[in-house]
Amino acid sequence: MRALVAFLGPRLFRALVALWLVSTVVFVVMRLSGDPVPLLLPPDAPRSEYARVARELGLDQPLPVQYAVFLANVLRGDFGRSIHFREPAWRVVTGYLPATAQLGLTAFGVALLVAVPIGLLSAVNRNSPLDHAAMGLALIGQSAPTFFLGILFILVFSLQAGWFPTSGRGSWQHLVLPAATLGAFAMASIARLTRSAVLEVLRQDYVRTARAKGLPELGVVLKHTLKNASLPVVTITALQFGTLLGGAVVTETVFAWPGVGRLAIQSIYNRDYPVVQCTVFVSALLFIVVNFAVDILYGLLDPRVRPR
C-alpha cells in the first residue's frame, strides 16, 4: 500500500498542479485579450449600460478578486454562467461533451486498430512494397493539415462518391469522415512509431533466442516483440490524445460537428470567459487523466517501473 501511495502520490500531485496552471493561464490570457461587454451590447448602447453589464458579469472587480472568486468557484465545480447562452457554463460544456467523446474515441480507436497492425506488418516486411506504401501514406497523414484533409474527404467521399453525408451528426455514416480526418494524424504517427519500435526489438538477442529455439514466427512477433515494443507506443498514444483534442477544434468546425472543440472556438470569438475556461479545464482534465492512466499502464506493462 505504501508503495502504491509512493508511486501514485507524486503523479497525482503533478496532475493537480498542471490542472491549476492551465486554469490560471486561461484565466489570465482571456482577460488580457479583450473585453466581452462591447460584444454583448448594441454599438449604440450608452455607458451606463456598459457599466451595468460589466457589473453583472463581475468584470468591474479588480483582477486578483476575479481570480480568487474564479478559483473558489472552480473548486466547487462552478464555472459561472455562460455569457452567450445565459446558462451555467458547466451545463453548456457537458452538453457538448458526448459528441466530442463519440468522435474522439472513434478516431482514437480506429487509429489504434489500423496503425498498430500496419506498423507491425511494415516492420516485419521491412523495405517491401507494402512497407513503402504504408509509410508513404503515413507521411501524408502526418503532414496534411486537418482542415485540408477534412475538406478533401468531403469533396471526394461525400460530394463525388456520395458515400457519406457532408457534415453534421446523426447516423454512423456521419461519423466516418470526421473520425477518419481526426484520426489521420494520430494513426500516422502511431504506425510510424510502432514500426520503428518493432524493428528495434526485432534486433534484440531474446528475439534471436526465441527464433533459435524454434518458436513459430507469429509467436515471436506477437508475444516477444509486440509486447516489448508497446512501451514507446503507449507513450506516444497518450500524447497523441492531446493532439486529438486539439484536432477536434478544426475537425468539428469543418464537419459542423456539435462538439466541445467548436464550442471552444466560438466561445473565444464571443469572449465567453466562463465557457472557455470550463472547456479548457475539461480538456486539460481529460488529457491529464489519460496520461495518469498511462503512467499506471506502464507499471502493468513494465515490471521495472512497478512499485515495490
Partner 1 sequence: MSRLTRRELLKSAATLGAAAAIGPALGAPAQAQTTQKRELVIAQGGDIATFDPHMSTSANEIRVSFNIFDNLISRYPDGKLHPGLATEWKLQGQTTWAFKLRTGVKFHNGDPFSSADVKYSIERTWDPALKTRVNTVLSTIDRVEAPDATTVLMHTKKPDPLLPARLAFYAGQILPEKYAKSAGPDAFNQKPVGTGPVRFVSWTKDDRAVLEANPDYWGGKIDVDRVIFRPIPETAPRIAALLKGEVDMITALPPDHGERVSGSPTTRMAGALYAGLYVLAVNSKRPPLDNPLVKQALSLAIDREIIVKELWRGRGIVPNGPIAKGDNHFDTGLPPLKYDPKEARERLKKAGYKGEEVVIETTVGYTANDKPMSEAIQGMWRDAGINAKVEVVEYSVRAQKNRDKSFKGLWWSDPTSTLSDPDGMMWRLLSPGGPQDYWRHPKFDELGEAARFSIDEKFRGQAYKEMTAIFLEHFPWIPVVQPYEDYGLQKYVEFTPNPNQQIELRRFNFKLRRA
Binding to partner 1 by residue 134, rule CB under 8 A? no
State how far the alpha carbon of 61 is from the alpha carbons of 35, 51, 64, 65, 95, in Å.
13, 12, 8, 6, 30
The yes or no reply on residue 280 touching partner 1 (CB under 8 A) is no
Task: Report CA dihedral (218, 221, 223, 228) to the nearest 10 degrees.
Answer: 180
- 284 contacts 293 by C-beta, under 8 angstroms: no
Q: How far is the CB of 74 from partner 1 (least distance, A)?
A: 23
Does 34 help bind partner 1 (rule: CB under 8 A)?
A: yes
91/227 with CB nearer partner 1: 91
Residue 304 amino acid letter: R
**Residue 166 is a binding residue for partner 1 (CB under 8 A):** yes
User: Distances from the Cα of 166 to the Cαs of 91, 135, 148, 254, in angstroms?
Assistant: 29, 28, 14, 10
Closer residue to partner 1 (CB): 43 or 214: 43
Q: Smallest distance, Å, CB 138 to partner 1? A: 21
Q: Which is nearer to partner 1, 230 or 251 (CB)?
A: 251
Q: Which residues, at least 6 apart from 77, have a Cβ–Cβ distance to it below 8 Å?
A: 90
Q: What is the dihedral of CA 130, 135, 137, 141, to 10 degrees?
A: 150
Binds partner 1 by CB under 8 A, chosen from 6, 17, 25, 38: 38
Positions touching partner 1 (CB under 8 A) are 33-45, 50, 52-53, 56, 84-87, 92, 95-96, 99, 145, 147-148, 150-152, 154-156, 158-160, 162, 165-169, 250, 253-256, 258-259, 262-263, 266, 269, 271
